[in-house]
A = this chain, B = another copy of it.
């Protein structure tokens, strides 16, 4: 084993979440699809914000949440993502560093503002995301710090990055560096609509450059265009060394070569906001995986972290996950 500085490097869209509770009528009136992630432009962002109720701001972004989760478990985490030099950008950087995540991607000096996602939480605790990518569009291969990629056991990236050609190139460059250094690469499929937009690219990527894929049930079905979960599971088994498939309250399934490991969901007293569930599952799993724990334990850590984050508003852990996992007998 070479020397390593980071357990997990994550790369993604650096986004401040703007969270508000809304009723079902609001979702209908704004013609939104509940549970989806929509990309919106600046004009729509302003319009939607004007229609929304009072909100709170919490740093988010899928891969950013995962890095925060890894650090909360006590893992060594790094993050690449693009903010602007503005107040929300400062908040984003603060929250990362304060969580102990290495985050040195330079902020953009001009161009669009730091990204935000209007996350509308309905009474059923489901979240509907409306993301204005803002400064994220400036993430390019120039932001892929080769030293950090080489120093990380796993480089984990959001499928969302594929929505911008420059970010997609950055993603591919990072994967190439990681594999060249005999490091592991990982992707989350992010969202079923994102899979729709990039199915062929994702399949090609997974078959050729990815060691660990994360997907929820809808995403993996969308990838293989099937309604049959078992069929999709067998397909990903052939396509990728490790696949981590999450199924909400049905728990998760890990497939690695001939092995299949099923783990139930961690119990939750009250689901308040499902934002970040997948991101924190990935954090727990990758923390365990980079510490060479058995797959079942990795999945349990993922479930524990997901259960914590859905028990409150916001997609970042509110407790120290290492302490929490120890109390649950998992560490």
In the complex, A113 Cα to B88 Cα: how many Å? 13
Enumerate A19-77 residues with CB–CB distance to B below 8 Å.
21, 49-50, 52-59, 68
Interfacial chain B residues near A58, Cβ < 8 Å: 56-57
Chain B minimum-CB-distance residue to A49: B94
- Given the interface contacts A49-B94, A88-B87, does A59 sit within 8 Å of B68 by beta carbon? no
Chain B minimum-CB-distance residue to A52: B98
- Given the interface contacts A87-B88, A88-B87, A318-B21, does A99 sit within 8 Å of B53 by beta carbon? yes
Q: Which of B53, B59, B314 contacts A98 (CB 8 A)?
A: B53
In the complex, A113 Cα to B86 Cα: how many Å? 11
Interfacial chain B residues near A314, Cβ < 8 Å: 56
In the complex, A249 Cα to B123 Cα: how many Å? 31
Can you pick out 9 interface pairs between chain A and chain B where the beta carbons lie within 8 Å of each other? Answer: A50-B94, A52-B94, A52-B98, A54-B59, A54-B98, A55-B91, A55-B98, A56-B57, A56-B314
Q: Which of B21, B49, B99 contacts A54 (CB 8 A)?
A: B99
Asked if A316 is an interface residue, CB under 8 A from chain B, the answer is yes
In the complex, A54 Cα to B96 Cα: how many Å? 7
Interfacial chain B residues near A5, Cβ < 8 Å: none
Interfacial chain B residues near A50, Cβ < 8 Å: 94
Asked if A126 is an interface residue, CB under 8 A from chain B, the answer is no
Interfacial chain B residues near A52, Cβ < 8 Å: 94, 98
Asked if A95 is an interface residue, CB under 8 A from chain B, the answer is yes
Most chain B beta-carbon contacts within 10 A, residue among A49, A54, A55: A54
Chain B minimum-CB-distance residue to A51: B98
Interfacial chain B residues near A99, Cβ < 8 Å: 53-54
Chain A to chain B: the 8 pairs with minimum beta-carbon distance, closest first: A57-B57, A54-B95, A87-B87, A56-B58, A53-B98, A54-B98, A54-B99, A87-B88
Assess whether B113 is in contact with A87, with CB atoms less than 8 Å apart.
Answer: yes
Q: Which of B68, B95, B114 contacts A55 (CB 8 A)?
A: B95
Assess whether A54 is in contact with B87, with CB atoms less than 8 Å apart.
Answer: no
In the complex, A85 Cα to B316 Cα: how many Å? 29
In the complex, A18 Cα to B13 Cα: how many Å? 23
Interfacial chain B residues near A86, Cβ < 8 Å: 86-87
Interfacial chain B residues near A55, Cβ < 8 Å: 91, 94-95, 98
Please give 12 more A-B residue pairs, beta carbons under 8 A apart, in addition to A53-B99, A55-B94: A49-B94, A52-B94, A54-B68, A54-B98, A54-B316, A55-B98, A56-B57, A57-B58, A57-B91, A87-B87, A87-B88, A87-B113
Most chain B beta-carbon contacts within 10 A, residue among A57, A314, A316: A57
In the complex, A114 Cα to B314 Cα: how many Å? 24
In the complex, A94 Cα to B56 Cα: how many Å? 11
In the complex, A123 Cα to B231 Cα: how many Å? 48
Chain B minimum-CB-distance residue to A55: B95
Q: How far is the CB of A106 from chain B (nearest CB, A)?
A: 19
Interfacial chain B residues near A53, Cβ < 8 Å: 98-99
